[in-house]
Amino acid sequence: MGRVCGGRRLRRCASTTFLLCLVAFVLGSMAVNVIKWRHTSTSSAYSSSAADCRETDPNMKKVLQHRVALLKEEIDLRETVARESLKRTEAAIEMSIKTSARFQNEAAKCRICVETCEEGRERAEAELVKERRLTRLWEKRARKQGWTNNSIYVQG
């Protein structure tokens, strides 16, 4: 179970890192877009002053807030999808473990039956050897007393 918890922590850490990188990338690209927009909206080619940097454009602020909201929603959806996928995977693993245990139990039963059968076969083989020795002994005694294979059997 320790490995599963470690795996969960690793997945959580990896997904958090990925999401932070994604947010940084999107915010960085938005900042580049803002700079380009401000650059093209000024009358001269590059006459931006410190006062221009402090200004906040309400439209740009709304656009940025909307984009951040969309990103948050997308991140939430991806987390939901990841959680559902993880649940399905864990359920499949649990089912596999149960099935494996069931097959291992069946295999153990089968091994026991095979061992029992093998022991019975060995006992029967030993009994057959004893019976053949006894048969040879009786046949030898019968031949000494004059018995031959052409003897007539009495039908009853």
Contacts of the segment 58-65: beta carbons below 8 A, 24+ positions apart: 60/34, 64/30, 64/34
Q: Which of 14-18, 52-56, 81-85, 139-143 has the highest mean pLDDT?
A: 81-85
Confidence of residue 146 (pLDDT cuts 50, 70, 90): confident
**Whole-number Å distance between alpha carbons of 75 and 66:** 14
pTM for the predicted model, two decimal places: 0.42
Angle of helix 58-144 versus helix 2-41 axis, rounded to 10:
150
Which runs of consecutive H residues, i.e. helices, occur in 42-54? 50-54
